[in-house]
Structure 1
Amino acid sequence: MTATWTLQRAVAPETPVIRRVGTEAVWEALRLGWRDFLANPTQLIFLAVIYPVVGLLAARAMSGGAVMPLLWPMASGFALIGPVAALGVYELSRRREKGLPVSWRHALDVRHSPALPSILALGLLLVVVFLAWLGVAQLIHGATLGRAPYLPPVADVAALAERAFTTDAGRQMLLWGNLAGFLFAALVLVTTVVSFPLLLDRGAEGRAIDAGTALRTSWRAAAANPVPVALWGLIVAVLLVLGSIPLFVGLAVVLPVLGHGTWHLYRRLVAR
């Protein structure tokens, strides 16, 4: 599909109108996200957030123990709450779009948004999803590697990785774990593809909407644009993996670029 058109349906006056777009809108959003990042680099902010988390995970990895099997679910699961971390980036793109002054300090202006209560409510929902993912990952480990009586407890990450790829129980864990992770990631994608930017945008315009409306709008946008939204999810997944190699350094660039790109994708999916 090359043209965008407003989805024709009966909606309440206060309900945001969804557009249908083609995959070219996804690539354009990514291009504009990169442009915004170059104009206002925020990598130092993200490094300040990423490396304390990475340090904690590394410390737990070296100490071994019962938390060891959850290290990868914890590291990968932080992508589930990534939309919350990107709120400041959305604000930077919004200000740049409006022609307002932009500096990294404006990323903190989110705390003054009229939509902050709804934003916090959605953020809490993502935290619940993240905790649910960890619970499911623990159950999967317990039902596969955890039930193998011939395998002693692992002492480090290398031993856990070797066991995951070289044993039948480990391969079952990878299969079911990746399937569950995909479902959780898909849930977060369709829930947040436009919800957080929408709340921030409408709040700044004095047309604040509630969290429920933002959620329903995000689901409607995903349902009306399954291929573009799926492509965006694939791009996010690939860039997050690439950004994690080596030592998560690339995430300091990947995360803000994806945040800016999400804003521009929202602008194409939801009419003003």
Structure 2
Amino acid sequence: MPVTLLSPLRWLALGWADLRRNPLPGLIHGFMLTAFGGILVWSLQNWFWVLAGAFSGFLIVAPILATGLYQVSRGLSVGRRVDIFEVMELWTNGDGRLVRFGLLLGLAGTGWVLTSASIITLWSPVRIGTPMDFLQHVVLAREIGLFEVWLLLGALLAAPVFASSVVAIPMLVDTSVPVSMAVAQSWRSVAEHPGPMVLWAVVIALVMGIGMLTALAGLVVLIPLLAHASWHAYCDLTSRQPTDHPTPAASSAHA
């Protein structure tokens, strides 16, 4: 189906339909990831920059951890219900490409936190040591500048991560192409559909933001919703036809 500015809303609707048709794998993923995020927040609440680094890495790598849900959506596209055991099998198949890509995403998150910490430490008039310090002295600061620069820098650093992964992650699950080819296809898809992809990035950020505002509880549903929707985004962006089998690989498996 042609990709338009309305496509992100369609992907969300299709993702919601997949979650309703086969909710158990998605809710298990959502609960486990949300519980892990909650443990990070609870245990590191007094060490803001450690928490920021750990939580940023968690958010960036979360799409890798939810890859089993792409298998669920792939099965549903041909009318087959994928159970949790098949999802677990995906995690035990020894595919090092997802591990390597996840490590690269984690490094990107670490780079963002180090950059963020440097800017705020140098600019902020007070020491930022807790989330409340950040909220009071950065987000709600009367002076205009620090928070706006922080947001702009975050967007600039997040853009290449999004462009590299939006198609690449589901493609690594669906095919045996090497990481480099999946990333190249992801960038190509973004370049060919800049408007819809910017909107899709905004939608993802808003949905995750809503999850944060519910004290993470909403992420139990919102994480699998975005995972299923991301599969449909991948299918539209690559013109993938419904099939329960991997598409022909452009090179040998796990290259």
**TM-score w.r.t. length of structure 1:** 0.79
Q: Secondary structure at the match of 2:213?
A: coil
2 CA distance for matches of 1:56 and 1:199? 28
Identical-pair percentage: 25
Letter in 2 for 1:263: W
Any idea what the Cα deviations from partners look like across 1:106-140, whole Å, max 9, x if unmatched? Answer: 322322557x2222221111111111111111111
Listed one character per residue, the Cα deviations across residues 82-115 of structure 1 (whole Å, up to 9, x for unaligned) are 221220111111122233331233322322557x
Q: Residue 119 of structure 2 aligns to which amino acid in structure 1?
A: I
1:138 lines up with 2:121 in the alignment: no
Q: CA deviation at 1:53?
A: 2.7
The one of 77, 84, 98 aligned to 1:119 = 98
Query: Is 1:47 the equivalent of 2:31?
Result: yes
Q: Report the Cα distance in structure 2 between the residues aligned to 1:239 and 1:199, rounded to whole angstroms.
A: 24
CA contact (8 A) 1:77 1:133 kept: no
Q: Specify which of 243, 247, 258 is matched with residue 226 of structure 2.
A: 258
Matched, 1:98 2:82: no
Number of the residue aligned with 2:12: 30
d(CA) in 2 for partners of 1:179 and 1:73?
18
SS at match of 1:235: helix
Deviations 1:131-189 (A, max 9, x none): 111111111122212xx3xx3x4564334321222354xx5432222112112221121
**Ranges in structure 2 where 5+ consecutive residues have no aligned partner:** 241-255
Structure 1: gaps (5+ residues): 5-20, 203-207
SS in 2 for 1:55: helix
Moved more, 67-76 or 81-90: 67-76
Pairwise CA distance, 1:224: 0.3
Structure-1 residue corresponding to 2:137: 163
* Greater radius of gyration (CA): 1
Cα distance between partner residues in 1 of 2:164 and 2:199: 15
Structure 1 position 77, deviation (Å): 5.0
User: Counterpart of 2:40?
Assistant: 56
User: Is the counterpart of residue 198 in structure 1 residue 148 in structure 2?
Assistant: no
TM-score for the superposition, normalised by structure 2: 0.84
For 2:252, the equivalent position in structure 1 comes to none
Q: Which of 185, 195, 217 does residue 249 from structure 1 map onto? A: 217
Alignment partners' CA distance in 2, 1:160 and 1:235: 25
Separation of aligned partners in 2, 1:112 and 1:97: 23
Match for 1:82: what amino acid? A
Q: Which residue is equivalent to 2:239? A: 271
Name which of structure 1's ranges 46-55 and 129-138 shifts more when overlaid on structure 2. Answer: 46-55
Number of residue equivalences: 237
Moved more, 229-238 or 155-164: 155-164
How far apart are the structure 2 equivalents of 1:48 and 1:193? 22
Deviations 1:203-224 (A, max 9, x none): xxxxx21111000000000000
181 and 78 in structure 1: CA distance in 2 versus 1, 3 angstrom threshold: farther
Tell me: CA distance 1:143–1:30, structure 2 relative to 1, closer, same or farther (3 Å). same
The 3 A distance-change label for structure 1 pair 271 and 72 is: same
